[in-house]
Amino acid sequence: MFESAELGHKISKKVYDAEVPKLRVDLLNAQFELSKNGKFPVIILVGGVDGAGKGETVNLLNEWMDPRFIQVHAMGTPTDEEISRPPMWRFWRALPPRGRIGVFFGSWYTQPIISRVLRKSKSSQLTENLEQINRFEKMLTDEGALIIKFWFHLSKEAQKARLKALEKDPKTRWRVTDTDWERYKIYDKFRKVSEHALRETSTAEAPWFVVEGTDPNYRGLTVGKILLDAMRNRLDQQPVKPHIDVPPLRESIDKVDLLDRLDLTLNLGKRKFDTELEKYQGKLNLLTRDPRFATISVIALFEGSDAGGKGGAIRRITAALDARHYKIVPVAAPTEEERAQPYLWRFWRNIPGKGGVTIFDRSWYGRVLVERVEKFCTEQDWMRAYSEINDFEEQLINNNILVVKFWLAISKDEQLRRFKEREQIGFKQFKITEEDWRNREKWELYEQAVCDMVDRTSTEIAPWVLVEANDKNYARIKILKTLCQRIEQAFK
């Protein structure tokens, strides 16, 4: 893939000086138009050979465009905070919102490539990382992002000459490190692994552009024109209605589903409840103070029918925890800031570090529940969300995050009783809204969405726990007991 980037491409200073002014104007116009319409973000990845001009090119883009609408992220060695979370956490947090440009100087490709070159990972691990990256970038482009990936290349001889030239000049000597020379010694290994990575991840949605880095004029003009063409092409496109060509999901032909099979008559008496509550709250407290808990973290997410008892169950959990170590994330309609990002962004922001507990009162499953039923997103969006969510949860679990998912199920009659109770009791009236009544009218649609959700996202690593919640006492103890069991299993 690098042959065309070893031909000695050059642009004369005369040509460069003649073309740059118009290019800068056109880039600024495209950038302002992007900022004004706010329809998509631009994500620029900068990678390649040491000494090939990556830093100079990033500085050039900052000089040519308005810095108010472009943000550069130099993704170096992960901090302690970043190490305590999944590897992709720091990239998710840095994604640009719609209408903005984000430049990643070092990206999600860096660590997988370096680890493989230095033999810190196996070939199979690199393959898995690249497959995950392809799915990640596909999700970003499906969400509307424009991804432009630049790989700056030098031949082995050109890299040696470039590093020596930088060392010779007192103004640039500081830019050449011992690490640069160490990597030069294993240039062939870097080339082989990098070429493999680019070949596996240069997709129709996010292709790689390999740029020869020897001549700064050629390098700068090439990057500027590719960026302009990509932005201009997207800005000038007419909206295309998404098309999905997979069979639609259908309910069971015998009308029997998972929720039908739940025994909602299960209950627990007050005396037994008090005994069990003390037992499992005490056990949960001890488990979270166990030294082994510092090596994991916990996400407990709650979904369920309106008035299903999520809030009461969450309070019984937090009563057993140290307030310094848990966080409750109530999920409502996304804010303006959140709507400017991919739908998983607001959840990635709240991933706990080691030894932490995050409780989601509703979650990322809104995409395949309320957004599906209320048609807040297209069928294509919620259909692809099943695999995106499974990928997301797999990344969490691979980072020693325990994901415990609860669906609190109640009958339609029990929901009606609780709705009426909320309307009659003063301190509960805030819990009932017109939206709750509207949702109730779509009971069957929500029930079908729940069954599809469980079928497609209850995995061997993150299974759903269906909770029979007509009786609140029974539901709360089942939840506490399950949470304790899952933490104990994680310690083994």
pLDDT in tens, 435-489: 888 888 999 999 999 999 999 999 999 999 999 999 999 999 999 999 999 999 9
d(CA 342, CA 57): 28
What per-residue confidence (pLDDT) applies to 213?
94
pLDDT in tens, 8-57: 999 999 999 999 999 999 999 999 999 999 999 999 999 999 889 999 99
**Residue 360, pLDDT above cutoff 70:** yes
What per-residue confidence (pLDDT) applies to 417?
92
pLDDT-derived band at 175, boundaries 50, 70, 90: confident
Q: Could you tell me which of 483, 471, 41, 468 has the C-alpha nearest to residue 234?
A: 41
What per-residue confidence (pLDDT) applies to 455?
95
In percent, the amount of the chain with pLDDT more than 90 equals 82
Q: Could you tell me which of 339, 270, 252, 348 has the C-alpha nearest to residue 38?
A: 339
What per-residue confidence (pLDDT) applies to 172?
85
Instruction: Decide: 484 and 317 in contact? Cβ < 8 Å.
Output: no
What per-residue confidence (pLDDT) applies to 226?
97
pLDDT-derived band at 166, boundaries 50, 70, 90: confident
pLDDT-derived band at 242, boundaries 50, 70, 90: low
Average pLDDT over residues 248-253: 71
What per-residue confidence (pLDDT) applies to 274?
97
Average pLDDT over residues 247-259: 75
pLDDT in tens, 120-152: 999 999 999 999 999 999 999 999 999 999 999
What per-residue confidence (pLDDT) applies to 424?
83
pLDDT in tens, 419-446: 888 888 776 767 778 888 888 899 999 9
In percent, the amount of the chain with pLDDT more than 70 equals 97
What per-residue confidence (pLDDT) applies to 432?
75
What per-residue confidence (pLDDT) applies to 202?
97
With a CB cutoff of 8 Å and minimum separation 6, the contacts of 103 are 44, 46, 58, 61, 70, 71, 72, 73
**Residue 254, pLDDT above cutoff 80:** no
Helix, strand, or coil (residue 329):
strand
Q: Could you tell me which of 464, 490, 483, 475 has the C-alpha nearest to residue 321?
A: 483
Between 285 and 427, the higher pLDDT residue:
285
pLDDT in tens, 363-378: 999 999 999 999 999 9
What per-residue confidence (pLDDT) applies to 308?
94
pLDDT-derived band at 241, boundaries 50, 70, 90: low
Q: Walk me through the domains of the chain, giving residue ranges and CATH numbers.
A: 3-236 (3.40.50.300), 259-491 (3.40.50.300)
d(CA 74, CA 133): 19
What per-residue confidence (pLDDT) applies to 338?
96
What per-residue confidence (pLDDT) applies to 256?
76
What per-residue confidence (pLDDT) applies to 179?
85
Mean pLDDT of the chain: 93
What per-residue confidence (pLDDT) applies to 183?
87
Angle (CA) 431-436-442 rounded to 5° is 160
Largest CA distance in the chain: 89
pLDDT-derived band at 238, boundaries 50, 70, 90: confident
What per-residue confidence (pLDDT) applies to 125?
95
**Residue 247, pLDDT above cutoff 70:** no
Instruction: State which H helix or E strand residue 147 sits in.
Output: strand 146-153
Instruction: Decide: 333 and 433 in contact? Cβ < 8 Å.
Output: no
What per-residue confidence (pLDDT) applies to 246?
62
d(CA 304, CA 450): 9
- pTM for this entry: 0.91
**Residue 405, pLDDT above cutoff 70:** yes
Instruction: Decide: 201 and 137 in contact? Cβ < 8 Å.
Output: yes
d(CA 404, CA 343): 20
